[in-house]
Structure 1
């Protein structure tokens, strides 16, 4: 798939236009995002992703189209698991409801910018070295094992190194000052918790990229598709945050499903590398239709089983 420079520019311009539209309509007047409003925006962003994927399918062929949709679904599902961490961060910083949308918007934009660097590096490495597939596959399988062991389930937020460095760089006010990131108090410039929580959201997502970027490279090695799948998934993530709310905590088996998906893609990367070295036959190089089917089935099963368990637990509480 050959992607000309003008298409890159047009795509990035279109994404920036969507963000500007979001800023003008939603964030022009800070307010608490309602469930109905969030639902409409989620449908809008998913529709944009579907329209883009159809365009890829029509103009580039069905293989790139399947790769985009498979990558988009994978990135979006991995992002849903991140929402729980975002909720913990928001609660830890006591972000006012009317400012949560802006925090997520700016934080996710920072995350997308940082992910773009990872994508560029990953694409360059894959183009030069086949053994990188082994490395990415090992990262995914290790992440899957960590999920199954229950790592990362601490419900308390602990500031990472990036956030701590920001605190050292400048004093932080105790209270929020509207949507301002810095204020001057008694002649001294200080940063507000608004800026700090944005840094926390952005840097937390960067950690999640350690598994999501190798995962999508296991689906497609086309940097354009990797970038756009990540962009559409992240852009729709913040509205999903308001739509799902407490429902995320009910998806108790989602981590297990994601672990299965990551392990599957990790194994696919290993097989692809072995195929490139002519060690395994062609039929062991898993195609993207199989990948898409596995991902959709695993996500559907884990979601249905999780919601069924949540309903059973609620009935037990009522009886008790």
Structure 2
């Protein structure tokens, strides 16, 4: 499969991601456990968006250094592909944020511990998506019809998301959570930011460990949705991976920025469902009519903007799910873990 990514570009990108994560880890340890303020989340969100924009600008400049018209056209195309891919992945990440919020609320995770959990989630998401993207690129390069499977899956996911929008997921009946509870000896309360603790000489997982595993499962579920979506925009592995990773790197700041405003965007899930339907249809029509990347970017941005504007005009329904905080649940000594 053709790609603009040269060995030098791949190494530079990998070095940047490692450096960004190291700096993030150092800052996390230096700050210690603390509740992230709206101001801090806003500043970090701006920083990550700025870094992504700087990368897009560098990519455009690097690819278009030659005055040749074909070279400039390639640079413009790749810039559009990266921007569209980044916007789609960022939009889907918003849905991640709301699910993270539900998990944290269910387990009554203190605000000062959420930052470290999300850091683990980001690390897992980067590794997982890199592997899935490489496998997806390999499949598409050898089996063109895989694109139709991706398209059909996105249409199905969009329809499913539309019907599920506005409904509170029931974590209590979640099969993954039930499976984890049967196989993990879980302490009745938190022990700081530790994932494991000792009680009466027994080593037990803290509720935070359970949350980390669930966040990882959420990453897997959303990766299955988002990877086909980006391949509908471009099949260039370098653009697919970079747009994904840059969207993920700012996920933690985005969570703390939107966590207190999730009810204001109650119609966003409907907008994301329409975006997935549009992208899935685009992929299914690939060999009949190739929708321009610029048009895809405009349609995606318009749908997301409309869903947010309508969220401000139309009040949310009164339907609320019931949350059962983990800390409020008394451990049953007879229950088999």
Normalising by the residue count of structure 2, what TM-score does the alignment of the two structures yield?
0.84
Gaps of 5+ in 2: 64-74, 319-337
Write out aligned runs for 1:86-125 (5 A): 86-125=100-139
State the 1:146 CA deviation: 1.1
RMSD (CA atoms): 2.1
CA distance in 2, matches of 1:240, 1:98: 16
Number of the residue aligned with 1:242: 256
Deviation at 1:6, TM superposition (A): 3.5
Residues 84 and 249 in structure 1, CA contact (< 8 A), matched pair in contact too:
no
- Secondary structure in 1 aligned to 2:204? strand
Q: Would you say the 8 A contact 1:27–1:102 is kept in 2?
A: no
Distance of 1:55 and 1:46 partners within structure 2: 14
**Is 1:18 matched with 2:20?**
yes
Contact 2:37 2:256 in 1 (8 A): yes
Of 273, 290, 300, the residue aligned with 1:259 is 273
2:326 aligned partner: none
Paired with 2:208 and 2:51, the residues of 1 have a C-alpha distance of: 29
In 1, the alpha carbon distance for the partners of 2:242 and 2:186 equals: 35
Contact persistence 2:171–2:177 (CA under 8 A): no
Q: Which runs of 5+ in 1 are unaligned?
A: 314-320
Q: Is the 8 A contact 2:165 2:269 kept in 1?
A: no
2:158·2:277 contact (CA, 8 Å) conserved in 1? yes
Corresponding residue number in structure 2 for 1:318 = none
1:305 aligns with 2:307: no
Give the alignment partner of residue 175 of structure 1, picking from 186, 189, 192: 189
The separation in 2 between residues aligned to 1:140 and 1:155, in whole angstroms, is: 21
1:219 alignment partner, one of 212, 216, 233: 233
Given that 1:111 and 1:206 are in contact with CA atoms closer than 8 Å, whether structure 2 keeps it comes out as yes
**Alignment match of 1:54 (pick from 24, 40, 57):** 57
Instruction: Describe the SS at the equivalent of 1:245.
Output: helix
Could you list the per-position Cα deviations for residues 82-122 of structure 1 after superposition, in whole angstroms to 9, with x for gaps in the alignment? 21111110011111111111111112211221222211111
Match of 2:293 among 288, 303, 308: 288
Aligned residues of 2:84 and 2:293 also touching (Cα < 8 A): yes
Alignment check: 8 A CA contact 2:97 2:258 kept: no
In the TM superposition, what is the alpha-carbon distance from 1:234 to its structure 2 partner? 1.4
The structural deviation recorded for 1:241 is: 1.2
1:145 corresponds to which of 159, 162, 169: 159
Contact 1:163 1:199 survives alignment (8 Å): no
Cα deviation code 1:24-83 (max 9, x no counterpart) = 224431100000000000000111111111112222311111111100000000111221
Which 10-residue stretch deviates more, 118-127 or 11-20? 11-20
Whether the 8 Å CA contact 1:159–1:200 is kept in 2: the answer is no
How many residue pairs align between the two structures? 304
Other-structure match for 2:143: 129
Distance (Å, rounded) in 2 between the aligned partners of 1:34 and 1:180: 22
286 and 45 in structure 1: CA distance in 2 versus 1, 3 angstrom threshold: same
- Name the SS of the counterpart of 2:198 in structure 1: strand
Q: 1:41 aligns with which of 40, 44, 64?
A: 44
Q: 1:162 Cα shift?
A: 5.1
> Is the partner of 1:246 in helix, strand or coil?
helix
